[in-house]
């Protein structure tokens, strides 16, 4: 699949077909080809949806301010607000927006630490 893009210890939470969109003259229009959004436990990868899997963009958790699901002209979409002020609007194929937002939020959530540290027996 896309194992050549993953770093050591990284795994895929979900893979989604997306297309960037722009607001033009009162309507949402697709900006370019359909892409593949891969959500891993460490980053959001946007890759071309061809067989070569060229990496288009990598977004790490510290760069993401917020993500939510929204309707883009009667189509399912998401908005990713970045800390640098940019907003990425993307259509999501076949009503997968909720799942994509859930996976990105899972990536953003830090791993749980145990409340009680295990005690070591004295030697």
Highest CATH level, class, for 7-108: mainly beta
51 pLDDT above the threshold of 60: no
- Check residue 53 and give its pLDDT: 60
Model confidence at 14, pLDDT cuts 50, 70, 90, reads: very high
Q: Quick one: average pLDDT of 4-11?
A: 90
> Which of 11, 7, 8 has the alpha carbon at shortest distance from 103?
11
Confidence of residue 3 (pLDDT cuts 50, 70, 90): confident
Cα 106 from Cα 98, distance rounded (Å)? 12
pTM confidence score = 0.85
């Amino acid at each position: 699949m896309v194992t050549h893009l993953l770093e050591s210890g990284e795994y895929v939470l979900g893979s989604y077909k997306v297309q960037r969109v722009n607001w033009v003259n009162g309507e949402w229009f697709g900006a370019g080809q359909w892409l593949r959004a891969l959500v891993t436990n460490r980053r959001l990868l946007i890759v071309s949806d061809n067989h070569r899997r060229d990496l288009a963009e990598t977004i790490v958790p510290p760069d993401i301010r917020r993500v939510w699901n929204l309707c883009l002209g009667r189509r399912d979409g998401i908005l990713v607000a970045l800390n640098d002020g940019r907003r990425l609007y993307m259509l999501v194929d076949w009503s997968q927006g909720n799942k994509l937002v859930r996976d990105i939020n899972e990536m953003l959530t830090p791993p749980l630490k145990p409340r009680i540290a295990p005690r070591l027996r004295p030697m």
